[in-house]
Structure 1
Amino acid sequence: MGLEMGVITKNDVVAIVVAFNFSGERADNIITRLINQGVYTIVVDNSDRHSNFLESITSDYYFNGGNVGIAKAQNTGIRRALTKGAKGVLIFDQDSLIPGDYVVKMLQVANSVPENIGIISPKILDLNTGQFTNPRSYRRNAKGIKITNSIENDSDYFYAAKPIASGQFIFSRVFQEVGVMEENYFIDAVDTEFNLRAILAGYESIVHGDVLLHHTIGSKRTVTIGPILLRPSNHSAFRKYFIERNNIWMYRKFKKNVQGLGLQTMLTVLSQIVYILFENDKTAKFKSSFKGIVDGILTRR
């Protein structure tokens, strides 16, 4: 592998899959699909126990000995990929599924986009809802960017301010310029923080319609209150803390350069509180959310 510019092939790419208490020994999973598509795949395992199964299906298995957070696990894989000279990195969660031509299509896109594009995300079908996710878009302004709801580009792709990390192709030059994932975030908003950091450094982040990924986002169910439709995330109390804290941290970090982030943060923080009303384990979740809000406001980011 080498970092010189030119056409990117499968041999120039490393896929990273972060595993956590991987359930079952399914022959068909994201790891085997990536390997079958000819991509060198690193599995970074955040589980409590070493997995002989995961180690048996990939030649590069790294066991963390416990949950060190998705950011640190991703960074382990990213650094190993860069050491191998990868020109680009594919990042996946264990609960994502890809079609048989995923890597081919992603590389076709990577080799055709302008050089200022640093992050390419797939179009994601949420298996919980059966609907495609619609990440916020953005446009540039004098201070940095403004987050918008509308799609800013009429071509095959649009600019994405808050895409989901799983399935992303990130050019190695982005890591070399802006750094890796923020490990203090541990789990939630890791992808958005990195994405905004890259955008403000001058790179563009896009969602491309030619690349499709199936992904399970939380454990959503639909709640109807009159004309209002809610989809509570059903995240654990543990996750609620990081969702609240990290989104506030992120606002404090980028508020001068990302117009509209304040509204997005407020909606995220408040929606998580509302969701708890329709979820189990309410007391623990309210406590965790409140602590996350307080720590987000008072602690150093």
Structure 2
Amino acid sequence: MKIIAGIVLFNPDIKRLIENVNAVSSQVDEIIFFDNNSINLNEIEAFVKRKNYQLIKSNKNYGIAHALNELGKAAYYEKADWFLTLDQDTVINLHLIEEYKKYMNLPRIGQLCCIFKDRNLRVKWDISSGVKKTNFCITSAALVNLKAWKEVGGFDESLFIDAVDNDFCAALIRKGYFNYQINFVGFIQEIGHATKHHFIYKDVYTLNHSAFRRYYIARNNMLIARRYGAETNSVLRELMYRCREIIIIILFEKNKMAKLNNYFRGIIDGMTKNTVRRNYLKNLK
């Protein structure tokens, strides 16, 4: 089974990227990079040339979903069977692929994912079994079955950046595939810029995403709820969660007005825009 790692880049911290690559390089057959028009492209090119890796460059940032599809296509044309999707700041466990290989014969695998540690958050995971089916796999360090990726039409590029993984998981399930989570701490990463707050006898975490990101978070999650319904969240339940996020922004985050304005616009667009999912791989030979 050939495994290729794909790493999406956008203005990466080169030191963290090197740490990322050092962790994954001995575990996969090849590493391919996709750069989303980074301002430090010269640094990236120098690093990639030094290591003799493949780099795909874009003259515009078309978003994470487009980058993942381009990496998936490159892996497909390299005749890979599996595609490890990595963010630029994802540092995987040195035994991650070894653990994944134990579960590659599970029925109808769409993708395998694992438990992770956030550098800023204390996430509580259900680790009661060695492996379980799950409705959601985070894109970072997920091992994607390229056959399944092709069958669902790739990642939804219209989403641009947020909830791309939510949509992909639901699309796999709708096609009869399963997302499996293994009981293994497979990588370290940061989601947003999380901070902890105490509110009415309870700890509350906020991810402090930018106003730009807040629009896509609201829009895409509402759109996905409409697209898949019970396979993800109902529209009502998703709307209630968005209201909770609005309260958190008001109470704890900076730049409140810009974030709230974008969040409300995102909710409205998510409730009104077309929900049809395109196939981005129709021309894949």
* Other-structure match for 1:233: 207
Structure 1 residue 128: Cα displacement: 0.9
Structure 1 residue 263: Cα displacement: 5.1
Secondary structure, aligned partner of 1:213: strand
* Other-structure match for 2:103: 109
CA distance in 1, matches of 2:219, 2:80: 33
Paired AA for residue 107 in structure 2: E
Secondary structure, aligned partner of 2:221: helix
Secondary structure, aligned partner of 1:210: strand
* Other-structure match for 1:294: 268
Question: Under a length normalisation based on structure 1, what TM-score does the superposition of the two structures give?
Answer: 0.83
* Other-structure match for 1:24: 14
CA distance in 2, matches of 1:99, 1:46: 26
Structure 1 residue 115: Cα displacement: 2.6
What RMSD, in angstroms, separates the aligned Cα atoms of the two structures? 2.0
Amino-acid identity (%): 27
1:27 to 1:295, Cα distance in 2 relative to 1, 3 A: closer
> Which one of 153, 175, 178 corresponds to residue 152 of structure 2?
178
* Other-structure match for 1:221: 195
CA distance in 2, matches of 1:121, 1:281: 34
CA distance in 2, matches of 1:171, 1:211: 21
How many residue pairs are counted as aligned between the two chains? 270
Structure 1 residue 242: Cα displacement: 0.2
Question: Under a length normalisation based on structure 2, what TM-score does the superposition of the two structures give?
Answer: 0.87
Deviations 1:3-48 (A, max 9, x none): xxxxx2xxx1111111110113457421232223343011111133
Aligned pairs for 1:111-260 within 5 A: 113-132=105-124, 155-210=129-184, 212-255=186-229, 257-258=230-231, 260=233
CA distance in 2, matches of 1:170, 1:160: 14
1:115 to 1:97, Cα distance in 2 relative to 1, 3 A: same
- As a proportion of its length, which structure holds more helix? 2
Q: Is the 8 A contact 1:41 1:58 kept in 2?
A: no
Residue 67 (1) aligns with residue 61 (2): yes
Structure 1 residue 167: Cα displacement: 0.5
Structure 2, unmatched stretches of 5+, are 276-285
Paired AA for residue 289 in structure 1: Y
Aligned pairs for 1:92-103 within 5 A: 92-103=86-97
1:259 to 1:68, Cα distance in 2 relative to 1, 3 A: closer
Paired AA for residue 266 in structure 1: L
Moved more, 257-266 or 204-213: 257-266
Moved more, 87-96 or 291-300: 291-300
CA distance in 1, matches of 2:248, 2:20: 30
CA distance in 2, matches of 1:238, 1:259: 24
1:243 to 1:228, Cα distance in 2 relative to 1, 3 A: same
